[in-house]
Every structure is written in structure tokens, then in C-alpha cells.
Structure 1
């Protein structure tokens, strides 16, 4: 009876929220108060795929859902991104019969890396993808090795792990374990023999704390590594990006499957690879996966095209408090190597908690923004002056920097200037403050 009441309450509250134009994890909270162990009582589909990690969760889940639906599977997934236990509960129960059976072929879950242990206390994913672990949201997450321990508590013996072999921290989850599938990337033209960025979280082995050696880096601490002390090293991979050609916009997997990159970013390459691995493992043909991914542009709102006055631009999400995400976005802009101006908005640091803590700005390699292709930088929002201080410790010409804490006024002024190509970089917490001032346009591929 308690399970029935929890499902009923979840469905009713979700319908009421939908009527007033709101979506949230509240229905899950209500259900869990009625029946705290409801997730252990429902009947799940045979395939339960979970994705966690610091970056790439939402995009990877969206791509997996797209490929699986196109292959004829009914996929239940948390497309709204509510990825803590209440959100996971809400998506499961709202797609249940009143008898507790989930109405789908596949349950696909994005799970917050800190809270996965609470969701998977009640059930085990059949396949568990772990994308990467970085410095992210210092205020709530602390160090990546602390997050590692939290994710470790979510891993069940019966789950098949799908792990990023190029991340020395993530790869520890596969130690002394047989049911592991590995994915990774071979050395590419853009790979380096030295760490780039402000810091190097791959300097020491996460297993024994002795100094780590790298054959090459793709970015940050992601690459081919080995520890001469304990033997921890990059594992051989079953799913491998064998070539990335940014000029032609083609990524090749396992030397055979060619996928068009609709967004030419190394992050996107890894997300595609994780999706390819997961979909292959559940039996979808590689050619079918490659064809679908070659024609699918993400709908999650992380990459958008816009017009601001006479200027056309690209809106890019880079999570505040996540230096690796910011570094990759700026690398993408610079690699395009076209004259442009960049708008950086830092107003509300987080959607989840109130904080004015901005030490994470010093982890981001803003020095790359001195590139000749970047003609002007606009620093907007409450923390614009904090960012200005950070930039003063780089070689960026201060003459090409404009600072304005008033976002609407700054955007109105920018709209009057013929600047050409614009890029706007901000986080979800500040997204609507920008989008409310621009006209969105359609884009089917990288522009």
C-alpha cells in the first residue's frame, strides 16, 4: 500500500507542477517521505544504464537516449537533469504502473556523482558509465579524490562498469574487477607531452601517491599514464577513438566507425565515445550508432546560436567552479581561430547554494585569452571585478577588456556595436540572464 501511495502522490504532484509550468524533484521528495524504500520495491526494466562523473553526464545521457529510441527502444530518462535521489525517484515513479512496473525497455539515469550512492542503495544499474573526475564545485565537493570515494560507495558488484581509461582516478574503479568495459583515445595531433593549464592533478599517482609519468596528455590529467612505483596505468580499451580530424570534423572509433562532429570539442569526442560504447554493449549495430550521432545536435541548451543586435554568436555553457570545463571552452574558441569578442558572465556562482567564493577563478587558464583572434573581452556580472583581478595576472592587454557588473546594460551596449562574431561563456545559474536579451537562431552543426 505504501508503494502505491508513493506512486500516486508522485504522479499527482508532477501533474500539478506541470499545470503551473514547473518541473522539479519535489514529487520524488514526497514519494520518499511516504515510502523511503520505494526504489527497492518497483520492477525495473532489464537494462538500467547510469551515467555519473564531473562532466559530460547530461550530454552523454541525451545521446544514448537518442540512439536507443531511434533503434526502437522505449527509453525512460531524466531529461530534465534532476540527478539526485529525489529526481531519480520522480522519473522512475512517474513512469510506473500503479503496481510498480516501469513502463519502458531501458531506464537511463544521469546521477550526481555525490548522490549516486543514495540512489543505487536500492537498486543496481546493469551498466554504469563513469566519465571523469575533476575539480568541480569546491564549496560542496572539495577535492576530486573525496568525490572518488563518494562514487565508490555507489558501485555494486553486479553492475558492469564502463570506464574512461584515460582518467587515472576513474580507472581505479576497475582494479581487481572483471566486469569492466574500457573506453579511451589514442594519441592525436592535439595531444601534448606535457601538462597544460594552471595546475596538474595528474602529477602524482592516485593509487600510491608517487610521481606519475605520462606518454601524452589530451587535456588536463586525461591521457596515457603509468606509475613506475605501483604499476597503475592506462588500461587497454575495447572502444577507442583512433583518430580525430577537426579540419574535416570527423572522429573515428575503433578504426572503422566514422562520426561527424557537430560540435568540434574534445569533450564532445569523449561523450560520443561513451555513448558509442554503451549502445554497442546493449546490442545496437555500430553503423547505426555512427549514423545517428552524425546527425544529432544536442538539445540540452549547452550550445546555442544567437543574435545580439547586429552580431551573431555562439552561447557555450562552462560550469562555474569547474576549471577544466572553462579551459575546454576557451580552447574551442581559440582553435576556431576567427576574429571574435568573448562575453564572460559570472553573476550567481551556483544554483544550488549561495556563495561568493571565487578561488576557482585562479584554477582557470585565462592566459590563453591573449590570443590574437580574440579582439575584445567583456566581463559581466557581480563577480566581474574578481575576474578582472584574475586577468590582471596574465599577459592579456587590459585595453581589450571591458568590465560591467550590470548585465542588461552591458548587453544593450554591446548590441549597438558591430563586433562580428561573439562567444558568450557562462553557467546555468546565469544562463537566462543572457538568453533573455538575445534572439536564438537555429544551428545544425558547428559554426
Structure 2
């Protein structure tokens, strides 16, 4: 029974959406919040699409959700989604409101929802995903999320019983979610000549989750990502149903086993995290019902969103802009590792401060000491420029990692950082920025472009 309060909330939210559109404001959160203030159980009363694909996890959920949306669109589907908005309760409500008419009836059969893992206790009582893909669970934003096991417990307690899970077989934390639920796994086999980062600082599963004995890793790709077993109780990593068996870097393609059926796909991005994101997207869409041929055709058209990663040749310099989520030690460590492995001489510009941290300077800085800055202590890295309110914290951590002080430069404003790059020493310039500070990337690229133009005019 929807009732008067439901329709009052629905009409208020619809009007708010129109008003925000007229004012050219991005109303991704407020209409849903307004609806739930008027009718607290609004989400429970409203009609929802018949099939809901949810994407959650610490890292990669936005990229993976975007790939899923793009593949579905390429195959003729038109899901309601929150790719332009919030993944917490208010944003999810706003998204679903956009998919119902004034009679409260849904006009969409399919939804693709990126879902904040911390908000699951508020969302899942009302929104029951048909499929839920969890990319991984890592430490992130300590002040809010505490620890990966804390987030695991929240998800584990609130995932609906009827939801089919698509889990990362190589993630020894998230692979154990909601044991009673139907599930499939995706993963990446250890590759020939693969360089494994076994000395990363964080390992959140050193002990067997069943008996507490020390786990034996068959291989550890990075942090707790890999496969392991327990010699005491027999616990071991699950076998992947959707398994990347071959990553061919020279051709830019991957081979996957889709429940035993071999398929070849274009690689989307060059890092192992890109491969995990793609494997997860392929797994959940296979469960949804897309064929290997449909997936292969659509993946050929995929590209990483430029706001997340972009490469451009400016003069004789390669300029790479990459998200490296501040307050997220694993995300930053992965980017630092890829920079170390990149060929040539490199300069690195750190613009990692979260906007809230920049305004309040109250964020817990422990994440900096869980991040593998040691990857930046390499002869191929000629300069590291630290910018923003935490610039001196980054400098201290770099010094502790062994980076020579003469390689480190500190700049107060991120917008000035590109002016400090020594163009004579580096072949490639990396700009690393937080997900909410992409504007710094555009400013930095323009600055480098102007400096290269001036340099060319003088030569």
C-alpha cells in the first residue's frame, strides 16, 4: 500500500528534480533525501525494476559499473542507473525515483546501481539486488570505514538472502561474504613471468578465517589478493567460475574461461586492477544472460573514462593523468607500483588531498603509512612533487621510504604544482589526483602544455 505520504513524497521529489534542472544544478542526492524525510519508508513502498544489478566494493566499483552500463547499452538495454550521481542512500533513491511515473509505477525493467558498501545497512532492507558484484574489500577512509573486516561485517549482515553474488575469488576478504547465498566467482590466474608484490605493507588476511592458523599463500599478487590455503583445517581460496587464464600485454588482449568456455577479449587498460574490473563486469553480465559473443563485441568498444585515466603526448613528454584515491592506501599503492614499472625517466605530482580534508584538515593520516610509497624510491623517478594541505605529511612518508630529499618538492596549491616539474629530467609526467579533484588534472595539463609551447618557442 503506497498511501498519501508516499505520493506526497514522490511528487515533492519530482518537483525538486525539475527545479534543480531549471537551475542547472546536479540534483543527484537531494530529491531522494526529501522523499525519505516526508515518507521514511519511501524506498520500501515504491515500485522497482524487475532486475537490479548492484556493484559494490572498495575500489573499482565506478569503473566497473560504467563498463556494465556501456555493455548493456550496446546490446539494446536502457537501464536506469546512478553513473552520474551518488551511490549512498539519497542518490540511490533519486535514481529509482527517476524510473517511476506519477502513479508510482516503474517504467524500467532494469537498474544498474553502484552501491556504497558502508551504506548497505540503509539500502538493502528496501533494495534487493538480483545480482550483486563485489569488486574487493580493502582499507579505505579510516575515519568513516575503519577496516576491511568492519565493512565486511556490515555487508555480510545486510546482503539480502535472495541476491546472487558475483565475488572476487582472489580477494580473501570479500570472497567469504554471505555464505548462504548463491554465488559465482571471478579471478585472474597467476601469469607466466608475473611480478608479484609480496612485500606490500598491508596484508589483511594473514590468518585462516576458519581456524586462525597462519595461511600459506600459493601466490600473493598484492596485499591480500591472490590464492591461499590452510594446512590445519583445509580452508582454501575458491575456484573462479569466470577465470582470466591469459593476459597478453603485447597484443592488449585477455583470454577468459567462462564456466569452461574459452573467450578472447580486448583488455581495457594495462593494469591488473583494470583486468579485475573487466573480469567482474563480464562475470555479472554472463550471469545476467549476455552471450560470450555479445560480450566480446561490446568490450571491443570500451574505453576507460578520461576523468579516471588519460594519456597524452605534449611535445616530447608523455603526460599521464590518473586517479589515485586519497585516504585509500591500496589504490595509491597500485598506482605507485605501476609508475615504478613504467619505462623511462618519470616525474610524479601528488594531488591526493580529499576535499573534506582540505577544508577541515581532520582526516586520520594513518593511511599514508599504510601506503607503499617505497615504490617511488626508484632511480627512474627523478622528482616527486607534493601539493595540498598534506604536502609535508607526504614528504615525511617519502623520506621514510628512502626517497632522497633533493628529489622532493612541496607546493601549497595543487594548481601550482605543474610549474615545479623539471622538464629536462623526465620523459613521462604523472599527475595523481583524488576522485573529487579532477579539476586539478585539467589545470595541470594546460600548464604543462603552455610550458612546453614556451620551451619550443625558445629552442
Q: Give the root-mean-square deviation of aligned CA atoms.
A: 2.5
Q: Which residue of 2 aligns with 1:295?
A: 301
Match of 1:436 among 440, 443, 448: 443
Q: Which one of the candidate residues 9, 14, 27 is aligned to 2:12?
A: 9
Alpha carbons 2:383, 2:408 under 8 Å: kept: yes
CA contact (8 A) 1:174 1:180 kept: no
Q: 2:57 aligns with which of 53, 60, 63?
A: 53
Quote the offset at 1:91 in angstroms: 0.4
C-alpha distance after superposition, 1:195-228 (max 9, x if no partner): 3312322211234332111101122111111123
Q: Does the CA contact (< 8 Å) of 2:385 and 2:421 recur in 1?
A: no
Contact 2:268 2:278 survives alignment (8 Å) = no
Specify the alignment match of 1:78 in structure 2.
82
Matched, 1:36 2:31: no
Cross-structure match for 2:452: none
The question of 1:181 aligning with 2:184 is answered yes
1:295-320 C-alpha deviation (Å, 9 max, x unpaired):
21123721134678985411111111
Among residues 239, 244, 265, which one is paired with 1:241 in the alignment? Answer: 244
**What CA deviation, in whole Å up to 9, does each residue of 1:55-80 have, x standing for no partner?**
11111111111111111111111012
**Distance (whole Å) between structure 1 residues aligned to residue 109 and residue 306 of structure 2:** 23
1:410-425 equivalences in 2 (<5 Å)? 410-414=417-421, 419-425=426-432
Please name the residue that 2:399 is paired with: 392
Q: CA deviation at 1:8?
A: 1.9
2:229 matches 1:226: yes
Work out the CA distance in 1 between the residues paired with 2:143 and 2:122: 20
2:201 pairs, out of 198, 202, 227, with 198
Gaps of 5+ in 1: 442-447
> Residue 148 of structure 2 corresponds to which residue in structure 1?
144
2:343 match: 337
TM-score, normalised to structure 2, is 0.89
**What is the alpha-carbon distance in structure 1 between the residues aligned to residue 196 and residue 113 of structure 2?**
36
How far does residue 359 in structure 1 lie from its aligned partner after superposition? 1.7
Q: Does the CA-based 8 Å contact 1:7-1:94 persist in structure 2? A: no
- Rounded to whole Å, the distance in 1 between the matches of 2:384 and 2:314 is 16
1:216 lines up with 2:223 in the alignment: no
1:135 matches 2:139 = yes
What is the CA-CA distance between 1:186 and the residue it aligns to? 1.2
Change (3 A) 1:236 1:58: same
CA spacing shift, 1:371–1:249, aligned 2, 3 Å: farther
> Does residue 364 of structure 1 match 2:371?
yes
Secondary structure at the counterpart of residue 437 of structure 2: helix
Helix, strand or coil for the counterpart of 2:118? coil
Of Structure 1 and Structure 2, which has the larger fraction of its residues in helix? 2
* TM-fit CA distance, 1:42: 2.1
Task: Identify which of structures 1 and 2 has the higher relative contact order when contacts are C-alpha pairs closer than 8 Å and 6+ apart.
Answer: 1
Structure 2: distance between partners of 1:352 and 1:123: 34
Cα distance between partner residues in 2 of 1:351 and 1:70: 39
Pair 1:271 & 2:277 matched: yes
TM-score by length of 1: 0.91
CA distance in 2: counterparts of 1:306 and 1:435, whole angstroms? 12
May I ask how many residue pairs the two structures share in their alignment? 440
Shift, 1:163, TM fit:
1.0
Q: Paired residue for 1:169, among 173, 180, 184?
A: 173
Deviations 1:402-447 (A, max 9, x none): 2222333332344987844211112124332342343499xxxxxx
Residues 206, 19 of structure 1: alpha-carbon distance in 2 compared, 3 angstrom cutoff: farther
Q: 1:199 to 1:217 in 2, by over 3 A?
A: same
**Residue 414 to residue 300, structure 1, CA distance change in 2 (3 Å):** closer
The answer on whether the counterparts of 1:10 and 1:28 sit within 8 Å (CA) in structure 2 is yes
Structure 2 unmatched runs, 5+: 449-459
Query: Matches of 1:153 and 1:353 in 2, distance apart?
Result: 34
8 Å CA contact 1:165–1:234 kept in 2: the answer is yes
